[in-house]
């Protein structure tokens, strides 16, 4: 038995050496790091340099900006940062479809705004609703469900969904350079979180599959929940009440309370992400802040200061003073879609 195992080991070593030798002959060099570009969809330039320098310094034990692996926390917004958010935020499209689907059981909605004008087709986009109305729709479509039930509905809908312009499921409308960046940070020991204004269960329904980000690294908006015990079955059910609307300063409060570590990298695309960027880049900790600037109407969309939801206005003005990178999706990205 022992002799057979030793023999197997010898054979494995021999095969390894053969394989490595063939790699050597193909590449000429072996084990040299830094030869392959970790961000191939990013054009060379100031933004890419800033990212690569930040990672190089943070992970270099002899650099003054070195950060231990367990403290390398990176936070990303979702809509508009990782995923296309026009012509509408994906979750809003889901919610409006759910209102239409639930309508037969809610005769009262025919005379009740904002539901009646969704059902009549007069209002069909985030831009048509006030924040309060959006929250009303959010509550109506999420309450009285467990997380499992909600996630299952979201998954079913996402599987059927199609982006009206790109003809792909919404979950395919993710930015290739951003997926590369998530992978690059992870490979350098960063723990990557999503910190989103969207419902955390909605984002959890696809974050692991699409971004490789597990549920416990998704922080987002949520309804209050209730513990329900029914004959030895225990479940937790969403109540018709907002627990947290995870935008603006709320994002930072959630990072502090959920992670318990200071983030040193923050990436967003709207004014709602400003506090998250401030938190990662203040305090002389040499953090990095970035904002996607949607300036590519050909390959995606062009919008910033005028938009109601996802507006990037103050962020553009603050970027210089705070030393944040404004990423031109037109000029800094070779490719846009994954």
Kindly list the residues in this chain that would bind a copy of itself in the complex (CB under 8 A): 1-2, 5-6, 9-10, 13, 16-17, 20-21, 24-25, 28-31, 70, 147, 191, 200-201, 204, 208, 214-216, 218, 222, 225-227, 229, 232-236, 243, 249, 252-253, 256-261, 275, 278-279, 282-283, 322
**How near is the Cβ of 39 to a copy of itself at its closest, in Å?**
26
Query: What separation, in Å, do the N-terminal and C-terminal C-alpha atoms of the chain show?
Result: 49
Specify the DSSP class assigned to residue 271. G
How far, in Å, CA of 183 to CA of 287, rounded?
Answer: 18
Q: Which C-beta is closer to a copy of itself: that of 118 or that of 255?
A: 255
Characterize 157-186 residue by residue with b for buried, 16 or more Cβ atoms within 10 angstroms of its Cβ, and e for exposed: bbeebebeeeeeebbbbbbbbbbbbbebbe
Alpha helices (H) in the chain, listed in sequence order: 2-27, 46-58, 90-102, 115-119, 131-142, 147-160, 176-187, 200-211, 249-259, 274-281, 314-322
How far, in Å, CA of 313 to CA of 302, rounded?
Answer: 13
Q: Which C-beta is closer to a copy of itself: that of 34 or that of 227?
A: 227
**How near is the Cβ of 20 to a copy of itself at its closest, in Å?**
6
Return phi, psi of residue 330, to 5°.
-75, -45
Residues 6 or more apart in contact with residue 133 via CB below 8 angstroms: 113, 114
3-state secondary structure of 274: helix
**How near is the Cβ of 119 to a copy of itself at its closest, in Å?**
31
**How near is the Cβ of 146 to a copy of itself at its closest, in Å?**
8
Return phi, psi of residue 138, to 5°.
-60, -45
**How near is the Cβ of 18 to a copy of itself at its closest, in Å?**
11
Instruction: Look at the block and give the residue holding tokens 């933004």.
Output: 47
Q: Which C-beta is closer to a copy of itself: that of 131 or that of 243?
A: 243
Q: Which C-beta is closer to a copy of itself: that of 103 or that of 244?
A: 244
**How near is the Cβ of 63 to a copy of itself at its closest, in Å?**
22
Strand-pair category, 265-268 with 233-244: unpaired
User: Which of 128, 41, 75, 124 lies closest to 265, judged by CA?
Assistant: 75
> Bridge partners of 294?
303
**How near is the Cβ of 160 to a copy of itself at its closest, in Å?**
23
Q: Which C-beta is closer to a copy of itself: that of 1 or that of 298?
A: 1
Q: Which C-beta is closer to a copy of itself: that of 47 or that of 252?
A: 252
Q: Which C-beta is closer to a copy of itself: that of 100 or that of 314?
A: 314
What would the two tokens of residue 275 be?
A: 């506090």
How far, in Å, CA of 127 to CA of 95, rounded?
Answer: 14
Q: Which C-beta is closer to a copy of itself: that of 270 or that of 278?
A: 278
Q: Which C-beta is closer to a copy of itself: that of 88 or that of 201?
A: 201
Specify the DSSP class assigned to residue 196. E
Max Cα distance, the chain (Å): 82
**How near is the Cβ of 245 to a copy of itself at its closest, in Å?**
14
């Amino acid at each position: 038995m022992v002799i057979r195992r030793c023999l197997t080991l010898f054979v494995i070593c021999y095969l390894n050496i053969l394989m490595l030798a063939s790699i050597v002959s193909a590449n000429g060099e072996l084990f040299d790091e830094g030869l392959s570009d970790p961000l191939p969809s990013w054009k060379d330039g100031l933004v890419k340099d800033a990212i690569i320098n930040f990672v190089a310094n943070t992970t270099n034990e002899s650099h003054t900006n070195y950060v231990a692996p367990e403290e390398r926390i990176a936070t990303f917004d979702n809509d508009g940062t990782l995923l296309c958010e026009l012509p509408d935020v994906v979750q809003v499209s889901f919610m409006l479809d759910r209102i239409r689907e639930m309508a037969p059981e809610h005769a009262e909605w025919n005379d009740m705004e904002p539901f009646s004008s969704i059902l009549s087709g007069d209002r069909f986009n985030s831009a048509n609703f006030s924040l309060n109305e959006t929250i009303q729709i959010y509550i109506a479509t999420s309450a009285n469900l467990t997380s499992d039930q909600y996630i299952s509905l979201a998954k079913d809908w996402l599987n059927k969904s199609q982006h009206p312009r790109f003809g792909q499921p919404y979950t395919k409308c993710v930015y290739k350079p951003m997926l590369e960046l998530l992978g690059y940070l992870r490979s350098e020991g960063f723990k990557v979180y999503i910190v989103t204004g969207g419902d955390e269960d909605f984002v959890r329904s696809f974050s692991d599959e699409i971004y490789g980000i597990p549920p416990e690294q998704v922080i987002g908006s949520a309804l209050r929940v209730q513990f329900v015990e029914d004959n030895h079955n225990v479940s937790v059910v969403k109540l018709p009440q907002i627990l947290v609307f995870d935008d603006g300063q709320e994002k930072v409060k959630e990072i502090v309370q959920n992670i318990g570590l200071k983030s040193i990298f923050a990436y967003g695309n709207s004014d709602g992400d400003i506090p998250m960027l401030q938190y990662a880049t203040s305090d002389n900790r040499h953090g990095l802040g970035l904002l996607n600037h949607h300036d590519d109407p050909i390959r995606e969309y062009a919008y910033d200061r005028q938009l109601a939801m996802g507006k990037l206005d103050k962020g553009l003005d603050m970027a210089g003073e705070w030393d944040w990178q404004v990423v031109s999706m037109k000029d800094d990205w070779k490719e846009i879609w994954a």
